[in-house]
Structure 1
Amino acid sequence: MEYINPIPTQLAKARKKANLSQKDLGILIGLDSSSASSRMNHYEKGRHTPDIKTLKRISLELGVPLNYFFCEDDVTAELVIQIANLNNSEKEELLNQIKEKFNAK
């Protein structure tokens, strides 16, 4: 089975949801304005993959957690976003609920 890199798809989805152009996002993360659009386009087309430092800057600008970009389906991506918005005690409670549900089977 061929591996498909989820970063380009997730990046494009998050950028569009934030209502930003490729150039605007590139500038916001510190790319030169003359190359921002083409660099972001290369990332979204999968021709190049941003390094983790760049991906972290992108995640901060788009308001999604870093691991969002590694989600291979929409449901997992949405779960990652929702979980990231929880405080630590809410995360622990959710984890306990999940453990209880799956240990009960």
Structure 2
Amino acid sequence: MPVEVRDLPVFARRLRFLRERAGLTQRELGRRIGMQENAASPRINQYESGTHVPRLETAQALAKELKVPVAYLFADGERLARMILAYSQLSAAEQEAILREIERGNRVG
């Protein structure tokens, strides 16, 4: 019985989503982060199936290639993941202003 996408670990789900959104095959993504041609597709497949979790350095390379913060790949809730993406797209000044608000304990919005 195949595993449902929603039942996969967070990292696996997000990696697959981002790769497909970028229009890349597993082999292409692996090659772009420096994996050997013959190992690229099987290794990315293992990450997307939840069989293996990559080392931090590999996760960082994947995130950089897919243009997201590495924390997005591991965030354990959808709201937090969305916040990470939104925050990462702000300017440094905007990030600082939001951080100050949060640290003061004020609600944003």
Query: TM bucket by the smaller chain?
Result: 0.7 to 0.9
Q: Tell me the residue number matched to 1:46.
A: 50
Q: Deviations over 1:68-91 (max 9, x none)?
A: 111233332222111011122111
Preserved CA contact (<8 Å) 1:10 1:71 = no
Structure 2, unpaired ranges of 5+: 1-7
Contact 1:23 1:33 in 2 (8 A): yes
What TM-score comes out, normalization by structure 2 length? 0.81
Aligned residue for 1:57?
Answer: 61
Aligned residues: 99
TM-score if structure 1 supplies the norm length?
A: 0.84
Query: What are structure 1's unaligned runs of at least 5 residues?
Result: none
Which one-letter code corresponds to 1:86 in the other structure? Answer: L
Displaced runs of 4 or more, over 6 A: none
CA RMSD of aligned residues (A): 1.7
Kept after mapping to 2: 8 A contact 1:8/1:44 = yes
* Percent of paired sites with the same residue: 31
